[in-house]
Structure 1
Amino acid sequence: MTVMRAAAALALAASVSLVGAADPTPCTLEHLGRYYDLRPLQSKTDYKVTSTLRDSKREFKLNVCGPVKSELWNPKVADDKVGAFFRGKDGDMSLGEPNSTFEIVDDAPTLFMLGGAACGGGKMSAAVRFECEPGAGVGSPKLAAQLPPDDDAACAFFFEWRTSAACPSNSSGGVGGLLVMFMSMYVTIPSSLPR
């Protein structure tokens, strides 16, 4: 994902309400007949990401579909409102609130965390793009970009995560799948009976 596309995606998320038709299960998404289930990425410990951008040595911690589990030091927001953070000079800087609703951006499930710590007249935010890689297992997140690029000015953070959990299946099954199966049986069985 290029920095410009990531910036455009995050700007879109910030300007549009992400509340749409509620998915039946948090951390899942059904889109165009494909079912995404990212619950295997939920963890009892946070994922650590060390920045490899330029001269930055910042370490980020994040979790999926819920708040971080790490004990926070002097956060500028409520502890349960932190989905990702890094340690700043005066406290932990939230990159955004936890979110369990994904959006599809360029055919990949993407998680937006908005409403983080104050930054440059706005608030910090983060986007995590999950890319399907069948053999990757859980995989791990990597920091792809931050805007602006300078550590002291950065307010928006873009992570990429190659994982098999981002590979879609054809349907969610469950109650909806059973309902479709029973409806199709009801429609086809009577027509096959002798008259």
Structure 2
Amino acid sequence: MASSCSVQSGSTVWDLSSLANNNEDYTWTSSSGEKIVLNVCRSIVTEVFGIEDPDQVGAFVQGDKGDRSIGSILSNLTLTNSSPPSPVLLFPNGASCSGSSSLLSSTLIHFTCSTAAESTGPELLGTLPPGEDVGKACAYVFEWKTPAACPKSVGSHAILGDWGAVGVLVGLSLLILLAYFLGTVLYNRYILKLRGSAQLPHFTCSTPSISLPSLSNPFKRSSSSSSQPWGSWRRGNGYGRVPAEARDDEQGDSDEEEGLVGRFGLDSDDDDEDARALDGDSRVWRSQGTAATNSAGAGGAAKTGGGAGLISL
């Protein structure tokens, strides 16, 4: 059974839980061979003989005719009134003192802070009544020098509890806001010469806006593109939309045709000159034909006249 083995005073704590030994007890042996067995922060682990309720025993004296309890682990760790204070552990309610059935034996352990690497273990300072045999004494006083008895400082969590860190942060935030408020008021009043509510700080909250780039739909047809589907037939223009390679090939063929026309074709001016020349030639031909017809008609009349002359002759 374990007992409370820590005590706190302000921001300082003493914790002796490291001295609890779950494997074996601590022993002290007198010059006459009498042995006292005890443990700290828990009950003894040594098997006892002739003691009732051994789970409550904190210390006992081994004897030839049986063991005798000299204290139970019923009290918590306390501090002395000295400066600096020291932890003290009391084991009360032991077996009855010899010669008095109303008095119960007890054990007091006074722990002293020691910087030594290892503990020296408990040392018996004295017994009551003085000069009494160790096995028959009524009270026992031990001193235990150990590093575990040295005081330790605790953090804000141990002092303020689970909400200690949150309380510290809230307090600091309030102090910062108060300093900002007073500094702003003093600056506006004495530097900027403001009065009334104008000298008070004004808090403005603006909601940040985030603009994301617009994403165009790759499957949406642009307004400049034709509404005809791929491979559709349009009157007079063939297929409405063809791949880029086909358009390039058609463009190359048209360029070649334009080159041939440019090299072997007739310009519009040459066509007009040829037309005028042909028109002139046709007029000449028509005039020549008319003259020939006229001359032929005159010759035939002369012949006819001659024949008539001959007839008339």
User: What TM-score do the two structures reach when normalised by structure 1?
Assistant: 0.77
User: Which residue of structure 2 aligns with residue 47 of structure 1?
Assistant: 26
Tell me the percent identity. 31
- Report the structure, 1 or 2, having the larger strand content: 1
- Report the structure, 1 or 2, having the larger helix content: 2
User: Which residue of structure 2 aligns with residue 78 of structure 1?
Assistant: 53
Q: Deviations over 1:85-128 (max 9, x none)?
A: 11124311111101461111232100000010111321110000
**1:160 counterpart (140, 143, 161):** 143
Determine if the alignment matches structure 1 residue 91 to structure 2 residue 66.
yes
**2:132 counterpart (139, 150, 170):** 150
SS in 2 for 1:83: strand
SS in 1 for 2:33: coil
Q: Is the CA contact (8 Å cut-off) linking 2:75 and 2:91 kept in structure 1?
A: no
- Structure 2 alignment gaps of length 5 or more: 182-313
Q: Is the CA contact (8 Å cut-off) linking 1:139 and 1:164 kept in structure 2?
A: no
Deviation at residue 26 of structure 1 after TM alignment: 2.3
Q: Which amino acid aligns with 2:36?
A: F
Go from structure 1 to structure 2 and tell me whether the alpha carbon gap of 1:71 and 1:126 turns closer, same or farther (over 3 Å shift): same
SS in 2 for 1:181: helix
User: Which residue of structure 2 aligns with residue 135 of structure 1?
Assistant: 116
Deviation at residue 173 of structure 1 after TM alignment: 6.0
**2:170 counterpart (186, 189, 193):** 186
- Structure 1 alignment gaps of length 5 or more: 1-24
Computing the radius of gyration from Cα coordinates, the structure with the larger value is 2
Higher relative contact order (CA 8 A, sep 6+): 1
Determine if the alignment matches structure 1 residue 36 to structure 2 residue 19.
no
Go from structure 1 to structure 2 and tell me whether the alpha carbon gap of 1:182 and 1:138 turns closer, same or farther (over 3 Å shift): farther
CA–CA distance in structure 1, aligned partners of residues 139 and 94 of structure 2: 10
User: What TM-score do the two structures reach when normalised by structure 2?
Assistant: 0.49
RMSD of the TM alignment (CA)?
2.1
Go from structure 1 to structure 2 and tell me whether the alpha carbon gap of 1:174 and 1:61 turns closer, same or farther (over 3 Å shift): farther
Deviation at residue 131 of structure 1 after TM alignment: 0.3
